[in-house]
Amino acid sequence: MCGIVGIIGNDNAGYKVLQGLKDLEYRGYDSAGIATIHNDRLGVKKSVGKISVMEDGFLKKPLEGRIGIGHTRWATHGVPSISNAHPHLDCSGRIAVVHNGIIENFVSIQKLLIKEGHKFVSESDTEVLAHLIEKFYKGNIERAVKEALMLVKGTYAIAVICAQEPGKLIIARHQSPLVMGVVKKGSYIIASDITPISKLTKRVIYLSDNEMAVLSMKDYHIVKISDLSRNLVKNIERIDWELGDSEKGKYKHFMLKEINEQPDIVKNIIFSHVIKKKGMIKFGGLESTWRTDNKKEQGKTGMDYLLNVSRIIILGCGTSWHSGLIGEYIIENLVGLPVEVEYASEARYRNLCINKNDMVLAISQSGETADTLMAIKEAKKKGAVTFGLVNVVGSSIAREVSGGIYLHAGPEIGVASTKAFTGQTIILALMAVLLGRHKGKISLERGKKIIKSLEKVPVQMKNIIDNDNSIKLLAKRLAKYNNFLYLGRAYNFPVALEGALKLKEISYIHSEGYPAAEMKHGPIALIDKNMPVVVIATDTEDEIYEKIISNIREIKSRRGIVIAVASEGNRKIRNIVDETIYIPRTDDFLVPILSVIPLQLLAYHIAVKKGCSVDKPRNLAKSVTVE
Ligand code: M6R
């Protein structure tokens, strides 16, 4: 949550910071602010609401300077207001700080600083940082920042500038993401993630926890916060995101663009990992040696671990948790290996029992979700081998785990996750096939058949997306309802959860996902003529299909409106439901990758019809970096 940007060594630093904030707006959009230094003076601009408000003001009266910092806020401490917006300043107005994270002990520090005469103007926890730095400032901003950070507890990624040292940008991180882009010697951009950085440079350095960097118009150095005397040597890495990846292009919203990107992403994933002749799957991330502190385990590859695990524990949040559930069903069915799926936030605070041969798999699009990151750290403390399924390269989770697989789905900007879900699900399905083949649960012949089905999936996805118009018309008819139920069984139960999440987060319509059979244990009481029920009723498994048809009849007996997602060619179902959306046929375990698409489109069109802010829904942020 919250995004920070900083620029040094660029003639148009303020404007560049503004552009960077636009790219980070998906992290929070309650308020924004920019500070630059020009002629040894700090200039500050703040606005409440989206970056467009800031942009209007900025363009009328730009902030000049070759150094600047900026912030886009997702409110944690204090309402969205000008005074709570970052950058926060010290009493003298010489030091400006932007911060992503939470200073947990800010109340006690604030009391102390107030006693010493510091004047606070906001409710924000961040403001203590500015005053604390001021307290320690004796002509060396690097030292003052370090001394301040030694006193704070909590999480932070910060950028600090000081009018008395106008040629220095200080950044530091502890459990909040921060990346530094090297444009050229003496010219740098820093940000919460690589999206704004990739427009200026492809060369980045990922800061680790407790590290601080001092960037100047000549050079930079990186140190441990606890040891300023020793410079750290860190590799410059190359990022491969292209400029267009984070642009909307011809689409009205990022969400629609990302829905449309899914067939290609899934195609790339499938075609880069299948070995047709062998009916086999291969992942580079599993073939490589995994990181470990255990000397006895050094040199082990991901496959060495994976083939010997007795249980996989999947951790994730939101949509990533849903794909984890599908992974559980697929791996248990195809491989017979026990899998548990936990909300990362819950796993962390209960005594999650981790046994010797368990592997903990973190699923996260952003790789920055604080709940998942902390749960992974907890699992590591308990001795677990950890594994990541992450989209953002170099993100905190990707660097925390022993090894893993990247989605390579490109930046997902829309707050509602779409392409990450299908990317995660297809990788979990491929992992199941890989394990099944190695463990003799899937024969060569079956492996080859599965690959044939897999190869058809991208085109099938595209066919559903091409049917967008009929879903749009349906959305128009349904947008007036206030409550929705989503039901599914087996592989389609997590899809029901995902469909309901998509609708509620972007259209603000109350919606719940349930296993279809659970309806009679409570939710059925809600059904009347004003309750649309989206039932995923594909017929790949006969027994399950018959049961779901009974559930549909139960809904119809209570005058509920049934929208069925059905398998192509199933004409009969039209006689018992109100609306039908058809999806192509595939193997049962691949159905979720197809059945989720109409639900993404339905949510999207309902939200558009209601005039909602599709890509930036209220109260949400793309990267949830607070617990
Ligand atoms: O980046 P992550 O996959 O770790 O994010 C987890 C959730 O915050 C995320 O899936 C969220 O639920 C989305 N807004 C759902 O569309």
Q: Looking at residue 42, which CATH number applies to its domain?
A: 3.60.20.10
Domain stop point among 464, 493, 517:
464
- Determine the distance separating the centroid of ligand 1 and the alpha carbon of 484, expressed in angstroms: 21
Distance CA 348, CA 341 (A): 13
Mean per-residue pLDDT over the chain, rounded: 93
Answer whether residue 615 is part of any domain.
no
What pLDDT is recorded for position 245? 66
- Mutational test site, ligand 1, from 319, 425, 427, 614, max ligand atoms within 8 Å of CB: 319
Q: Encode pLDDT of 512-544 as tens digits.
A: 999 999 998 999 999 999 999 999 999 987 788
Domain count, the chain: 3
Q: What's the start-to-end Cα distance of the chain, in Å?
A: 10
For the cut 90, the answer to whether the pLDDT of residue 620 exceeds it is: no
Residues 498 and 374 in one domain: no
Residues 214 and 280 in one domain: no
Positions annotated as catalytic residues are 2, 622
From the CB of residue 171, how many other CB atoms can be counted at a distance below 10 Å?
A: 28
For the cut 80, the answer to whether the pLDDT of residue 594 exceeds it is: yes
Residues 187 and 285 in one domain: no
Distance CA 377, CA 588 (A): 35
Residues 426 and 530 in one domain: no
Answer whether residue 530 is part of any domain.
yes
Residues 148 and 266 in one domain: no
- Determine the distance separating the centroid of ligand 1 and the alpha carbon of 136, expressed in angstroms: 39
* CA of 316, closest atom in ligand 1: 4
For the cut 90, the answer to whether the pLDDT of residue 351 exceeds it is: no
**Ligand 1 atom 7: residue of nearest CA:** 318
Q: Encode pLDDT of 193-220 as tens digits.
A: 888 999 999 999 999 889 999 999 999 9
- Mutational test site, ligand 1, from 322, 342, 365, 501, max ligand atoms within 8 Å of CB: 365
Residues 117 and 166 in one domain: yes
CATH code, domain carrying 421: 3.40.50.10490
Residues 455 and 486 in one domain: no
Residues 208 and 329 in one domain: no
Answer whether residue 618 is part of any domain.
no
Answer whether residue 108 is part of any domain.
yes
Answer whether residue 626 is part of any domain.
no
Domain stop point among 239, 261, 294:
239
Q: Is 317 in the pocket of ligand 1 (CB under 6 A)?
A: yes
- Closest listed residue to residue 338, CA positions, set 314, 364, 321, 318: 314
Structure tokens at 611: 């005039």
CB 122 within 8 A of CB 84: yes
- Determine the distance separating the centroid of ligand 1 and the alpha carbon of 626, expressed in angstroms: 13
Return the percent helix, strand and coil in the chain, to nearest 5: 40, 25, 35
Q: Is 369 in the pocket of ligand 1 (CB under 6 A)?
A: yes
Q: Is 258 in the pocket of ligand 1 (CB under 6 A)?
A: no
Residues 478 and 427 in one domain: no
- Closest listed residue to residue 535, CA positions, set 570, 507, 505: 570
CB 169 within 8 A of CB 159: yes
Q: Encode pLDDT of 389-415 as tens digits.
A: 999 888 889 989 999 999 999 889 999
| pTM for this model (two decimals) | 0.81
Answer whether residue 274 is part of any domain.
yes
Distance CA 511, CA 532 (A): 10
Answer whether residue 182 is part of any domain.
yes
For residue 401, the one-letter residue type is V
Residues 450 and 543 in one domain: no
Structure tokens at 511: 């919606």
Strand 3-8 relative to strand 187-191, pairing: antiparallel
CB 195 within 8 A of CB 3: no
From the CB of residue 199, how many other CB atoms can be counted at a distance below 10 Å?
A: 18
- Packing angle between helix 254-273 and helix 419-438, nearest 10 degrees? 20
Question: What phi and psi values does residue 359 have, to the nearest 5 degrees?
Answer: -125, 135
Answer whether residue 624 is part of any domain.
no
Residues 138 and 278 in one domain: no
Q: Encode pLDDT of 464-474 as tens digits.
A: 999 899 999 99
CB 185 within 8 A of CB 219: yes
Distance CA 112, CA 131 (A): 11
Q: Encode pLDDT of 124-151 as tens digits.
A: 999 999 999 999 999 999 999 999 999 9
Domain stop point among 444, 464, 484:
464
Q: Encode pLDDT of 418-465 as tens digits.
A: 999 999 999 999 999 999 999 999 999 999 999 999 999 999 999 999
Q: Encode pLDDT of 318-339 as tens digits.
A: 999 999 999 999 999 999 999 9
Distance CA 405, CA 224 (A): 29
Give the range of the structural domain holding residue 188, as residue numbers without chain letter: 3-239
Q: The tokens 């924000």 sit on which residue?
A: 124
Residues 259 and 400 in one domain: yes
Strand, coil or helix: 467: coil
Q: Is 365 in the pocket of ligand 1 (CB under 6 A)?
A: yes
What pLDDT is recorded for position 241? 67
CA distances from 437 to 3, 301, 427, 616 (A): 44, 18, 15, 42
